């Protein structure tokens, strides 16, 4: 295991301190949060932790079942106590870009239904302004090239359809992903989110605004925890 991977594991495990028995927990997607899922499985098996989980992707669902986390459907319960998820970028105001794993729609639905959001990430994801990471936007397959052209006009940047080899990436919801190469220019992410959502072919955008309460960050100083002063966790 590389030093970066070891720190990601440590961060993923550290986030579990926010989980206690009786909770309904959103289970995120990504290379760091997978360690959170593994640790929660261990806590269930060895420490009698009693939780139910809602996965944000089919990959997370498979991993959660493998490690023994009981799962429920979000539509069957009245909200979640917490969600633990990754991020592709986060800025000084705790606004996020997510969707590098093409699970942004489910991730956002789960985040909106949660009383608190914990983000686990490595320090490469901390930025002064969002947008160096291409902004993922989930779009409908119907007339997707028209939607991509409209996105390019609205954002004034290059927008491309995410590909897997010769074929478009298809999300768990049967949609496509457009990536907007804005550069680190998204200083007003809430306004940008609304402009994008006004385009008819857009399903959802990977800007997670006013959702993140805590970031558990793995970096050169080890694992550090940053609490959003305007968040829901004291």
> Catalytic amino acids?
107
Cα distance between residue 107 and residue 211, in whole Å? 11
Q: How far is CA 46 from the centre of its chain?
A: 28
- Residue 175 to residue 147: CA distance in whole angstroms: 13
Burial of 127: CB neighbours in 10 Å, binned 0-12, 13-18, 19+: middle
Q: Categorise residue 174: left if φ over 0, alpha if ψ from -120 to 50, beta otherwise.
A: left
Rg over CA atoms, the chain: 17
Residue 68 backbone dihedrals phi, psi, to 5 degrees: 85, 25
Question: How many Cβ atoms are within 10 Å of 137's Cβ, its own excluded?
Answer: 29
Backbone φ and ψ for 27, nearest 5 degrees, come out as -110, 110
Catalogue the E-assigned strands of the chain. Answer: 24-27, 52-55, 82-85, 89-90, 96-97, 117-122, 135-139, 158-161, 163-164, 167-168, 176-181, 202-205, 207-208, 214-219, 222-227
């Amino acid at each position: 295991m590389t030093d970066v991977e070891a720190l990601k594991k440590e961060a993923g495990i550290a986030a579990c301190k926010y989980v206690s028995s009786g909770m309904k927990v959103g289970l995120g997607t990504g290379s760091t949060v997978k360690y959170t899922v593994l640790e929660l499985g261990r806590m269930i098996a060895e420490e009698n932790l009693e939780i139910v989980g809602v996965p944000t992707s089919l990959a997370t669902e498979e991993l959660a079942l493998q490690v023994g986390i009981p799962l429920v459907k979000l539509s069957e319960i009245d909200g979640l106590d917490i969600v633990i998820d990754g991020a592709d970028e986060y800025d000084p105001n705790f606004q996020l870009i997510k969707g590098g794993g093409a699970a942004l729609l489910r991730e956002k639905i789960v985040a909106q239904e949660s009383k608190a959001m914990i983000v686990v990430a490595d320090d490469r994801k901390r930025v002064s302004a969002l947008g160096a990471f291409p902004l993922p936007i989930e779009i409908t397959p119907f007339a997707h090239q028209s939607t991509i052209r409209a996105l390019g006009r609205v954002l004034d940047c290059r927008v491309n359809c995410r590909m897997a080899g010769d074929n478009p990436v298809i999300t768990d919801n049967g949609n496509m992903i457009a990536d907007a190469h804005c550069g680190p220019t998204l200083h007003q992410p809430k306004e940008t989110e609304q402009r994008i959502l006004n385009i008819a072919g857009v399903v959802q955008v990977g800007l997670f605004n006013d959702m993140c309460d805590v970031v558990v960050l793995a970096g050169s100083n080890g694992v550090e925890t940053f609490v959003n002063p305007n968040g829901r966790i004291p």
